[in-house]
Structure 1
């Protein structure tokens, strides 16, 4: 049973209760991410310790993936969202008053845990609340909101810090999370799935039952995430290698991110009308070819063209990993399944920059670009083979 099928009013209600708090909280989150290492340094951390503090957010997100599924199943998506946002408020206020690096590190780690809960609960909620015919557009819009927050957040953070100082950004972010929690209370409740009497849904049982899905479609999703995140590591390093300065590199990134941010709804519409493969596969081919050909780019214009194409591939595929996971999720045990799905794709997300770093340490940077390109092109074929196409009929 979905809350959104063909009517406009329910869709607008969900837009207010899901997308608005997501945008508000993610803008606040985007504001503080670049400031975490600076805060650690201000508290006396070394460069290595500051880098570790930043990494703890990603570690917390990975570790929190499976527990998030259990919590969402136990308390429901709406309560889990509100609870995680209040945890965010507490963590951000802790960052403001952190007396040393390790208190800051603990707060950042817990922020990663709560972020995992927020991502899973939003995906699970939309999977149930929105009819299958609109699912890809709903989840692609969610992915687009994340991208908007990543762009607007740092700009807001820079403005706040320039006027009131570093701690003020955390105060503003805690305020956005609190506002998001209040708005989320307007979410309509979802129907409760009926478990078989005496048969509680266990995480391990769900993971075992769907191990084949994780190994097939999940591997393709992880490859897509790996290729996506490699952009953030490879592009600036390549710009530096061919002699472009920081200003030119920033402009190239702005171009790529601008294109990326404007195409999420287009990708969702294509997926809903023609199928998931018609976005996931072309996106992988585009990004794979861009990375494979990047070693041929030796001018500002050439790199800008590749950056724009990477933005195209990344933009049209916004929400595709969530959509494929939602399509494969069972009615009973959905939060636990999505937890395993997020862990699988999250490993791919973390692996991208690590792969670039590892190859660049022992070989020319061009070798890293070629390796990522090969993964992209191979992953395109893998996704075409293993991504299922759901049928609206009978759902």
Structure 2
């Protein structure tokens, strides 16, 4: 019994020892795990502190980047949150760089990031500074050239001023010489006037004598002209009475107004103002003269006439009577010459008038001679050589409107 009790106690003791050892091991294991946990906690705290420091540094860096990009007034609350904001910033930077490249005449560039833009911005900024320095250099060179030109201009102005002063002095000297010469010329002119008056008085007698001789010659010429006219009248009368033939016929006559028409026109070379004698045939083929008509307007086939003389009111001029004139020849070609610078009428041209006159059988000549019948007076005809020659040869001068009437305008 006592032995069994001792075994029990021994077992209990062993169990107690084992338990003690287990508790000791557990105690040491727990302390080791706690230290590990504390060590891990300390390590985690250190990592947390490091991460907080990194976060603070990162936030500071982000703030600095914000200040760099958006300025010192940028607030994190106003910072755009869109994911494509960085792309927009890159596109703006790329657009700005390409504008500068366009000014520099270089091809555009594209970028994947703002860093690439920043690298080119530095180079472009340097080139812009170089271009600015070059522009300033050119400006300074231009200013220098302008200064030189201005100095040269000032020198030229000084020379011109000096030359003007010398010229003014010369002009004053010339003015003095002119006044002296003018005084001398006036004195000489007065002396010449005296001599001229004296010579005029001496030649007055000769002038009077020449005037008398000239008047006598004019009287003789006038008498001869009158004689020639009388002889021509006698010759024409003799021809009219004996050998005259009918040139045309009265087509119609208005007894109330004395206006009538004859069967002659421009193709027959009929001039305006020509006077015809009117007659009728009587028994035996004799001619009985009834009066005279004057051509008023020349037409293409018929011409208008006016009765200017009627010998017997009981035997008036009627249609069917004949007309004749010793001064009219339908086969003769009338010669015209133009004098003056241009026509007064704006409705027709000179070429048209010439062609119309030629179609009626007239001739247009350049110079006045003995065969010229009419001189047509255009503008400023008085001082032309044609007009002077026409006056010397006694050629009839007609006005422009008379010529236009002749061609039916």
Bigger Rg, which one: 2
TM-score in terms of structure 2 length: 0.15
TM-score in terms of structure 1 length: 0.16
Higher strand proportion? 2
